[in-house]
Structure 1
Amino acid sequence: MRVHFIVHESFEAPGAYETWVLTRGYEASHSRVYANEALPGDANNLDLLVVLGGPQSPATTLEECSHFDAGAECRLIRQAVDAGKAVVGVCLGAQLIGDALGAKFGHSPEKEIGKYPISLSAEGKTNSKVAHFGHVLEVGHWHSDMPGLTAQARILAGSEGCPRQIVEYSKLVYGFQCHMEFTREVVELLIAASETELANLTRHRFVQQPAALRANDWDEMNQKLFTFLDKLVAEYQLASLS
């Protein structure tokens, strides 16, 4: 499996996604756009495209952020989808998937930063890739937007603060508004990049401060993510044979 990561900022690291790649013996490549690394010219040489989060939105322009080209990323995502590749978007990445498929992102009802529960929808509870999450699972969050929905999209999980936490766009394409890739190391990077922001968000219902963020255990969530990714790979390999 050839897994390509689009990394928007140094503090939005692949975390548990990259751990999974390494432990499974897969091949990882990266477009660290914050370091001006180029996107792949096409999707031909990848099997799974993982588009990570960032402080941008799909509406952010090149004038506002010179290293983030939302249009180019959406074109690559669309090409990967049309080529039958597996695609996973995280936070901003999930919103970009929606935009690439013609569904504009929206603003979440609540800002969420920290570890809070998501609940599987009726469809999520019967979905073969996420049913093992259990009806309720505590996961990582760091967002204030959410992905758009195509006519074919299915919401597999939501939270009290955001109704669109996991979206299935197709059997090979998934958007995770939540951050199941968080590890202690990734959270430390985010805290360091967001100290001023966090200090100004003390009145929000679903925002944890640094001490609480550091106390969270992400291991169960990571293991659930690994199983999801294994199931996604199995689906992709089956589709590739047909």
Structure 2
Amino acid sequence: MRLHALQHVPFEGLGHIEHWIVEQGHRLTVTHLYDGEELPQLDWFDGLVIMGGPMNIYEDAHYPWLKTEKILIRQSIDAGKSAIGICLGAQLLADALGSPVFAGKEKEIGWLPITLTENGRKSYLLDGLPHQTTVFHWHGDTFDIPEGAVHLAESEGCHSQAFLFDNRILGLQFHLESTPETIRAILDHCRHELVPGRYIQTEEQINAAPNDHFVKINTMLEMLLKRVF
């Protein structure tokens, strides 16, 4: 497949997603929006990978490329293409599907559990996954589950953790692509966000995560990518 990634900041790259794409022999192209690169034409790709970032989807005045990115995402959905959105990417997918995106009641930062909803446990997409698992979070905004989408997962701090629309559009509020290197990069640029909070871990807690956390989330990611793409 021809997969195209939309990257919003240099320190939030594809992580384990790139490893999987290369391993599967798919073609990968990337638009680095923060560098002013042009977006692709619809016929240049088969699926979108929409990454995270510290900005909000409604900050068009500060990030003018958000307007054209949103148009591309909506056109891609209408054209029947597959997409996976991570964190900010999930919020952009929810927005494209007509759902509001807004500041959550709680920020979630660190290794925290998510729980599959009843519909999530029934979904073919999540077949074989545990009902509760610990994943990596770094977000403040959230969204309503789009109309017609399946609500897949939730957490104590955030109701809308994952959704699936039309069996081809997957939004994940959390980060299954994380590696020790990607987390170190986010910490280097965003550690000022680690303020006391109910669902905000300290840098020491984040770095103390056992290696099997990465193995579990990356394995989960690979399963979801295979089923969406």
Bin for the TM-score computed over the shorter chain: over 0.9
Distance 2:53 2:143 in 1: 14
Q: What is the root-mean-square deviation of aligned Cα atoms in Å?
A: 1.3
Whether the 8 Å contact between 1:8 and 1:54 is mirrored in structure 2 is yes
| Equivalent AA in structure 1 for residue 71 of structure 2 | R
Give the structure 2 partner of residue 131 of structure 1: 127
The reply to whether residue 23 of structure 1 matches residue 19 of structure 2 is no
1:47 is aligned to 2:26: no
What's the CA shift string for 1:67-95, capped at 9, x where partnerless?
A: x5222111111111111110111111111
Q: C-alpha distance in 2, partners of 1:88/1:170?
A: 12
Q: Separation in 2 of the partners of 1:150 and 1:51?
A: 17
Q: Does 1:140 align with 2:136?
A: yes
User: Which secondary structure state, in structure 2, belongs to the residue aligned with residue 23 of structure 1?
Assistant: helix
- Which whole-Å CA distance do the structure 1 matches of 2:156 and 2:12 have between them? 24
Using structure 2 for the length normalisation, give the TM-score.
Answer: 0.94
What 5-or-longer segments of structure 2 have no aligned partner? none
The aligned amino acid for 2:51 is L
CA distance in 2, matches of 1:32, 1:97: 18
What are the Cα deviations for residues 194-224 of structure 1, in whole angstroms up to 9, with x where unaligned? 13222xx1x2021122222122231111101
Task: Summarize deviations over 1:12-66 as a string: whole Å, max 9, x none.
Answer: 11111111101111111000111221111x321211101111111111023x23x
**Alpha-carbon contact 1:95-1:148 (below 8 Å) kept:** no
Name the SS for the 1:94 alignment partner. helix
* Amino acid in the other structure paired with 1:38: E
Contact 1:147 1:177 survives alignment (8 Å)? no
What SS is found at the alignment partner of 2:85? strand
Corresponding position of 2:156? 160
- Residue 106 of structure 1 deviates from its aligned partner by 2.4
Q: Distance in 2 between matches of 1:57 and 1:133?
A: 30
Q: Which residue of 2 aligns with 1:209?
A: 202
Q: 1:132-155 deviations in whole A, cap 9, x for unaligned? A: 221011111000111333221221
Pick from 186, 190, 196: which aligns with 1:190?
186
> Whole-Å Cα distance in 1 between the matches of residues 166 and 134 of structure 2?
24
Question: What amino acid does structure 1 have at the position aligned with 2:48?
Answer: L
CA distance in 1, matches of 2:146, 2:184: 35
Tell me if 1:92 matches 2:85.
no
The answer to whether the Cα contact below 8 Å between 2:60 and 2:67 also exists between their aligned partners in 1 is no
Aligned-pair identity (%)? 34
Q: Distance in 1 between matches of 2:9 and 2:191?
A: 16
Q: What secondary structure is seen at the aligned counterpart in 2 of 1:9?
A: coil
Whole-angstrom distance in 2 between the partners of 1:215 and 1:23? 29
> How far does residue 109 in structure 1 lie from its aligned partner after superposition?
2.5
Structure 2 distance, partners of 1:129, 1:194, is: 32
Unmatched 5+ stretches in structure 1: 234-242
Alpha-carbon separation, structure 1, partners of 2:23 and 2:104 = 34
